[in-house]
Amino acid sequence: MDEVKLNKGDNIVELAEVSLAGTAGKKVFDRLNFSLSYGKSAVIEGTTGAGKTSFVELVIGSKRPDSGTIYVFGKNIGDRGGQNLKNIRRRTGGVGGIFQPIAYQTIFENLSYPLILRGDGPGARRSRVFEVLGQLNLLNKKNEKAISLSRGEEILLMLGRAIVADQPLLLIDEPLSGLDSDMARVVMDKLKRLAVAGHSLIILTSGQTGVELPGADQYSISGGKLE
Amino acid sequence: MSRLFYLIGKSVRNIVGRPLSAMTSLLSLLLLFLMFDLVWISALSSSLYLEKMTADIDMELFLDDALPDSTISVILGAVADMDGIEEIEYITKEAARDKLNAMMGTDLLAGFTDNPLPRSILISFTSQYRNSAYLAVLEANFSRLTGVSEIYYPKTWLEKIETTRGLVIKIVIFLGIVISLAVILNLLHSIRLSARSRGQELMQHRLLGAGRIFLSFPYLIEGIFYSAVSAAAGWAIIFYAMNSLSFQGFEVVYPQPAELAYFGLAAVIIGFLGGYAGIRRSLR
């Protein structure tokens, strides 16, 4: 993979003067600027419709801005006819929002895919997936279809898929939505561990209690701006 | 290599995982290919039949009675110089009378003191020159020869056969195009349904960084599989059925092995195109 080596202090995500129009010409973002250093995390809070999911879609390249530039891992996502985008996506994990488990595939199959794309052989895939399943306490459900999981298990599965190939950047959209307090605590604990381990997390939340990440930059999104 | 194995396994799972859809695709494509095979065999067989009908076509040059025998060799030489001449036969007045007697079973000229039949030159042609356009050119050339009083060949008959053969070719080409399009559309529809039923999977895999070629591969294999298997099954059925039947007075002509190999290649290409057209929209 064509990679840019990032050091502490380099920006892992950088949006410069990004504008995006939504439906009926309403501006979702108006000259939005955002940057996140490698190894750092951010929590972005905003009400429903403020543009949290659009923010994720821009960073992952499933939406293109009307103007402005987006760099992820030091690369412009629009360059090189999709090659950059493919490489960026393989190094970016996602949870919630547009990132969902594949309902009719088993947990094992869901977790294997990033490793298949990386080119890992069956043996390496198996041992890595089992390792992650063990960390998430999902080993006993490895052959169950994702559709049979509870909301909390679904979030854990997505977290597993986001880290199974050691993706350094994680985009997490409403992580605690629909979770009871116990499961919310488990999920937040996993997220904190990932942040401490050096992953860059961008957590988008509509203000649920409990979404706190020590040391993370705090932002609020409204009116097409980040503050 | 592990990615290739994954993709092959995925292709198999796509097909096996939807057995009813797979059977529907295979059977409908089989019917289309069977239709095409039968049209192809009919075209080859009728072409041979028409070819045989034109095999006896020849041209006869009737010579002027005033033409001295010594100049006949000049005319024969001029005829032999032409392209596509298979055989030349000079028919004297006596030979013409003998032929007439043999044909009619009696001497119709018994009362005549002089033989009124003209001398003639009978010309037959090699198969590739046995066509109305070339014979018309020859007719024009021979009519300019001194001593040739009349030229006969079954012009109208030949033109009708050629029109029929042209019509058969046009029908085969038309049906070939229609059936090929029907196969592509059928495959497109099958693969599109297959892709739509896995729409969420495709979207998630794209978000995880799978490229278009990687995602398309199982669907292209699926298209090629349906097309190639249906095409092969079509010929298997045709050969089995034709071996069980007998045709009297009509020779059935099958495509040559090389032509069948090209047909197989075409089926693979059609399968690829159908698969590509089917998956393209899902990857936009």
Separation in Å, CA A171 to CA A10, A79, A222, B61, B86: 18, 21, 19, 93, 84
For strands A169-173 and A92-95, give the pairing.
Answer: parallel
A119 in contact with B, Cβ within 8 Å = yes
In the three-class reduction of DSSP (H, G, I as helix; E, B as strand; rest coil), residue A167 is classed as coil
Phi first, then psi: give them for residue A86, nearest 5 degrees: -60, -45
CA dihedral B165, B166, B169, B170 (to 10 degrees): -140
A36 vs A30: CA distance, rounded Å: 19
> Of A173, A209, A186, nearest to A93 (Cα)?
A173
Which of A82, A103, A113 is facing B205, going by the closest CB pair? A113
The token duo for A39 is: 């190894």
Indicate the residue type of B232: A
pLDDT in tens, B182-203: 988 999 999 999 889 888 999 9
Indicate whether B217 pLDDT > 90: yes
Contact B214 A117 (CB under 8 A): yes
Q: How long a stretch of residues is chain A?
A: 227
B3 in contact with A, Cβ within 8 Å = yes
The Cα of B208 is separated from the nearest Cα of chain A by a number of Å equal to 5
Which of A87, A101, A122 is facing B2, going by the closest CB pair? A122
B34 vs B231: CA distance, rounded Å: 8
Kindly report the pTM of this predicted structure.
0.77
For residues B121-133, average pLDDT: 91
Q: Share the mean pLDDT of chain B.
A: 90
Contact A116 B201 (CB under 8 A): no
**pLDDT over 70 percentage in chain B:** 99
Q: Which residue has the tokens 């996502």?
A: A77
A98 in contact with B, Cβ within 8 Å = yes
What is the predicted pLDDT for the residue at B180? 87
DSSP annotation of A80 reads: G
Q: Where are the beta strands (DSSP E) in A53-168?
A: 67-72, 75-76, 92-95
Which of B3, B201, B206 is facing A102, going by the closest CB pair? B201
* Chain A: residue whose CA lies nearest to B207: A89
Q: Share the mean pLDDT of chain A.
A: 87
Helix A107-118 crosses helix A122-135 at what angle (to 10 degrees)?
130
Set of chain A residues whose Cβ sits within 8 Å of the Cβ of B206: 62, 89
A175 vs A160: CA distance, rounded Å: 13
For residues B14-41, average pLDDT: 92
pLDDT in tens, B102-118: 888 888 888 888 888 99
Set of chain A residues whose Cβ sits within 8 Å of the Cβ of B211: 82, 86
Contact B208 A114 (CB under 8 A): yes
Identify any residues that bridge with A218 across adjacent strands, giving them in sequence order. A43
Indicate the residue type of A88: I
Indicate the residue type of A67: S
What is the predicted pLDDT for the residue at A176? 83
Contact B211 A82 (CB under 8 A): yes
**CB-side neighbour CA atoms (13 Å) of A66:** 14
Buried b (16+ CB within 10 A) or exposed e, A92-117: bbbbbbbbbbbeebbbbbbbbbbbbb
Which ipTM was obtained for this model?
0.89
A103 in contact with B, Cβ within 8 Å = yes
A220 vs A210: CA distance, rounded Å: 16
For strands A225-226 and A217-222, give the pairing.
Answer: antiparallel
What is the predicted pLDDT for the residue at B55? 85
pLDDT in tens, A69-113: 999 998 888 776 677 888 899 999 998 889 999 988 999 999 999
Segment 188-217 of chain B within 8 Å of chain A by CB: 200-201, 203-212, 214
Q: Which residue has the tokens 């995500």?
A: A13
Set of chain A residues whose Cβ sits within 8 Å of the Cβ of B214: 117
A116 in contact with B, Cβ within 8 Å = yes
Contact B209 A90 (CB under 8 A): yes
pLDDT band at A182 (very low <50, low <70, confident <90, very high): confident
Contact B2 A120 (CB under 8 A): yes
In the three-class reduction of DSSP (H, G, I as helix; E, B as strand; rest coil), residue B41 is classed as helix
Ramachandran bin of B267, using left for φ above 0, alpha for ψ from -120 to 50, beta for the remaining angles:
alpha
Which of B3, B200, B211 is facing A86, going by the closest CB pair? B211
What is the predicted pLDDT for the residue at A81? 65
Indicate whether A173 pLDDT > 60: yes
Interface test with A, best of B3, B196, B208, B284 (most A CBs within 10 A): B208
B79 vs B90: CA distance, rounded Å: 11
pLDDT in tens, B231-247: 999 999 999 988 887 77
What is the predicted pLDDT for the residue at B284? 74
Which of B201, B203, B209 is facing A86, going by the closest CB pair? B209
**pLDDT over 90 percentage in chain B:** 49
